Amino acid sequence: MNESRQIIVKRAVQEIKDGMNVNLGIGIPTLIANEIPSDLHVLLQSENGLLGIGPYPVAGKEDPDLINAGKETITAVPGSSFFDSAESFAMIRGGHIDLAILGGMEVSEHGDLANWMIPGKMVKGMGGAMDLVNGAKRVVVIMEHVNKHGESKIKKECTLPLTGKQVVHRLITDLAVFDFTPEGMVLVETQCNVTVQEIKEKTEASFQVSANLTAAI
């Protein structure tokens, strides 16, 4: 992981509470599996049919038949269960996922998410994200604050095809943490050594600053 991703993943792990069923989306979210504390008892669910994902396998111990939704080799924890995709999506659509942590291409100030269409690349479809943003009890999006051109990924309005409208509860970037409330988008935390002014300069969206703003240690 580069430094930006380390910051994001470290903060995202704090969203996971003991006893949760959690779905980790493709991309940065899958890195969280390696960072969950051993004393935290959670079940990680993959929409391709596994409840009980473990850390990534060590080199030479990979099982090519054991993969996550991103087609990466993974491990399974004791007590894991395997099932077909229909059963997996029944879990999601039935409201049995406590937390979905997803990557994002763009998030709007209204809490809209665009995360399935990669500009300029051929994609096979939107995967399970549309179901997750509507079926999970809580949706947390994690992504880098700006793209490789230095442009804000937090928009007034998303320019890419939407995954869901007003579905994001919390957004975690390498600079800040935002919550989406009926009153609008609210800055609730700054990452270590990041100022509110820097966040404003790198954020296209409008947001309020919480009266209880905290800074990461």
Written as six digits, the tokens of 83 are 């099932």
- The single-letter DSSP state of residue 30 is G
Q: Are 216 and 199 in contact (CB under 8 A)?
A: no
Asked if residues 176 and 202 have their Cβ atoms less than 8 Å apart, the reply is no
Residue 216 near residue 191 (C-beta atoms within 8 A)? yes
Query: Which residues are CB-contacts of 73 (< 8 A; sequence separation ≥ 6)?
Result: 56, 57, 62, 63, 64, 66, 67
Whether 109 sits among the annotated catalytic residues: the reply is no
Structure tokens at 152: 């804000």
Tokens 């003991």 — which residue?
18
Smallest CA-to-CA distance from 101 within 19, 29, 173 is with 29
For residues 216 and 155, give the distance between their C-alpha atoms in angstroms, rounded to a whole number: 24
Marked catalytic residue, from 47, 106, 109, 189: 47
Which tokens go with 95?
Answer: 């409201």
Cα angle for residues 182, 186, 192 (degrees, 5° grid): 155
Supply the residues annotated as catalytic: 47
